[in-house]
Chain A
Amino acid sequence: MDPVAMGAVQAPGVYQGVADVIAAVMLLIEFGMLRQALARDQVRLYMAQSALISVLAIVIAADRNLPDLYALAALSAALKVVAVPLVLRRLLGRPRGNSAPDEEEPGGVAGSQTLSPASAVLAGIVLAAIGFFCFGAMKIHGMAGGPGGKNTAPATALSIAGAMVLVAFGLMIVRRDVASQAIGFFSLENAISLAALVVASGLPLILETAFLFDLLVAVVVFGMLIRAHHTKAESLSTADLTRLRG
């Protein structure tokens, strides 16, 4: 029997399927960060997410003949998979003042969830639904620029990117420690570059690189914030800051 005749939904092509699956796994990793209790594992998840977006850049580059994207993939892999996690680990390991950074978890991360993991996931599902709905309702079918010129941007991947943005916001909201908030912010940048990749993959390399260096600035600022907050409050939790309200 012919499945399409039975009312089956026509599948998008294999390329689009691969892009959508990579985006979906990135969203799942975002949810993983929401549940994860240890800062070290959050950094690992961030590395995995960044590695996936580099793979997605390579897939899109191969499909649409955009050699720029290979360079972007290499650059973003070097920055987000190697450099940023390295800096984050040093920052998170240092504040305790001991010489071996990996031996001890920094304080304030494990107990910083304001919601229980299951409720946080449910809240994340609601946020993701809003993201999916809003981006799906915009009906953006980005014209793929570039010489390869297949004009089908994966609309599903764009909706997933929208959901990821909101879930990353959620991560920053439900956690009380500076480290999770920083990682939520960095993965927010991942979500935005995912959206940029799937809708405007023909973006000039210089602009994409500028985004990446934007991230570096954020790393430096967050690093200073983590350090300063830790030396003042002797914890990574922002709960103490609520006392400062007037």
Chain B
Amino acid sequence: MLTSYGLPLGYMGDILGGGFLLSLASFVVATAALETGSPYAQLGSSRAKTFSAITEPVVLFVVFTVALLTGTDLPYALAATVRSSAGQVIRPAHLLAAAALFMVILHETGRIPVETHTGTNEFGMIEEARAFEHSGPYFALLKWGSELKQLILFTILANVFLAPWGLASTQRPGAVILAIAALLAKACAVGVVVAVIDNSFAKLRLFKITEFVSGAFLLAVLGVFTLYLGGG
């Protein structure tokens, strides 16, 4: 999803494959947190797994929407579809799926839950607790990993759903450098929106997260309905 020309083996990495990779990394981090034996780390990883399980249906329905729109579940196929006409951008299924994915990203990057992303209050500690017992280079690696995950999710949102324009169309260095700059600019734009949302809404109580996710689920399901039952 970084280029608009086909990459070798690109057909092998569908959305589910990318999801598996991210979940595998998250599973490894949770296992490492359990291994430390600290109660906070275990609490954080247990919460993280619980809430990622309830966002799973939303992601699945977003994948269904992509599959109904393109006939595949390859992210770059959806980007090509979106680029092909203005009608594809404005159809409700696409917009609903993009909004649902955005809400999932807000949740996955820890922007909506109870405390702030880096909060260490145990009432709302989710992401932060998992790296609690790590220090030094390992802690830096974990931090780096979570930032990388955020960039990957932002890239999926921007380059597949919202603005799949300005990707490198050839392998010439000029085009690639331009595409890198465009990608960073798009990720910054998404980041600004996320930061505004993060700072302008009250944090939710831990058990209100299900309501937030049910909102995202509603968007994703309606996206599938408009395509599959409504014929749009």
Partner-B contacts on A (CB < 8 A)? 1-4, 6-9, 11-14, 16-18, 20-21, 23-24, 27-28, 31, 35, 117-118, 121-122, 124-125, 128-129, 132-133, 135-136, 154-157, 159-160, 163
A9 CA to B85 CA, complexed, in Å:
12
**Given A125-B218, A136-B230, A156-B232: A17 in contact with B87 (beta carbons within 8 A):** yes
Specify which chain A residues have a CB less than 8 angstroms from the CB of B211 in the assembled complex. 35, 117-118
B39 is an interface residue with CB less than 8 A from chain A:
no
Specify which chain A residues have a CB less than 8 angstroms from the CB of B217 in the assembled complex. 121, 125
Interface residues of B in 193-232 (CB under 8 A from A): 210-211, 214-215, 217-219, 221-222, 225-227, 229-232
B68 is an interface residue with CB less than 8 A from chain A:
yes
Q: A128 contacts B225, CB within 8 Å?
A: yes
The one of B70, B83, B222, B227 that contacts A28, using a Cβ cutoff of 8 Å? B222
A129 CA to B225 CA, complexed, in Å:
7
A95 CA to B185 CA, complexed, in Å:
54
**Given A3-B80, A28-B219, A121-B218: A12 in contact with B91 (beta carbons within 8 A):** yes
**Given A9-B227, A156-B231: A21 in contact with B92 (beta carbons within 8 A):** yes
10 pairs of A and B residues whose beta carbons are closest in the complex: A7-B71, A156-B232, A11-B87, A17-B90, A159-B230, A132-B229, A24-B92, A156-B230, A3-B81, A11-B88
Q: Could you tell me the dominant secondary structure of chain A's interface residues?
A: helix
Q: B87 contacts A14, CB within 8 Å?
A: yes
Q: B225 contacts A12, CB within 8 Å?
A: no
Q: A6 contacts B77, CB within 8 Å?
A: yes
Specify which chain A residues have a CB less than 8 angstroms from the CB of B71 in the assembled complex. 6-9
B72 is an interface residue with CB less than 8 A from chain A:
yes
A118 CA to B92 CA, complexed, in Å:
23
Specify which chain B residues have a CB less than 8 angstroms from the CB of A17 in the assembled complex. 86-87, 89-92
B114 is an interface residue with CB less than 8 A from chain A:
no
B69 is an interface residue with CB less than 8 A from chain A:
yes
**Given A1-B6, A17-B91, A128-B222: A7 in contact with B229 (beta carbons within 8 A):** no
Q: A159 contacts B72, CB within 8 Å?
A: no
How far in angstroms is the closest Cβ of chain B from A20? 5
The one of A7, A24, A118 that contacts B226, using a Cβ cutoff of 8 Å? A24
Q: B232 contacts A7, CB within 8 Å?
A: no
Specify which chain B residues have a CB less than 8 angstroms from the CB of A21 in the assembled complex. 90-92, 95
How far in angstroms is the closest Cβ of chain B from A62? 16
How far in angstroms is the closest Cβ of chain A from B55? 14
Specify which chain B residues have a CB less than 8 angstroms from the CB of A3 in the assembled complex. 70, 77, 80-81, 83-84
Specify which chain B residues have a CB less than 8 angstroms from the CB of A13 in the assembled complex. 87
How far in angstroms is the closest Cβ of chain A from B119? 24
Q: B70 contacts A8, CB within 8 Å?
A: yes
How far in angstroms is the closest Cβ of chain B from A167? 11
The one of B84, B230, B231 that contacts A8, using a Cβ cutoff of 8 Å? B84
A27 CA to B226 CA, complexed, in Å:
11
**Given A21-B90, A122-B214: A133 in contact with B80 (beta carbons within 8 A):** no
Specify which chain A residues have a CB less than 8 angstroms from the CB of B91 in the assembled complex. 11-12, 17, 20-21
How far in angstroms is the closest Cβ of chain A from B162? 15
B59 is an interface residue with CB less than 8 A from chain A:
no
Interface residues of B in 7-59 (CB under 8 A from A): none
How far in angstroms is the closest Cβ of chain B from A171? 14
A153 CA to B211 CA, complexed, in Å:
35
Specify which chain B residues have a CB less than 8 angstroms from the CB of A14 in the assembled complex. 86-87, 90
B96 is an interface residue with CB less than 8 A from chain A:
yes
Specify which chain A residues have a CB less than 8 angstroms from the CB of B227 in the assembled complex. 9
Most chain B CB within 10 A, of A3, A18, A28, A128, is at A3
Q: A132 contacts B225, CB within 8 Å?
A: yes
Q: A9 contacts B69, CB within 8 Å?
A: yes
How far in angstroms is the closest Cβ of chain A from B36? 34
**Given A118-B211, A118-B214: A11 in contact with B85 (beta carbons within 8 A):** yes
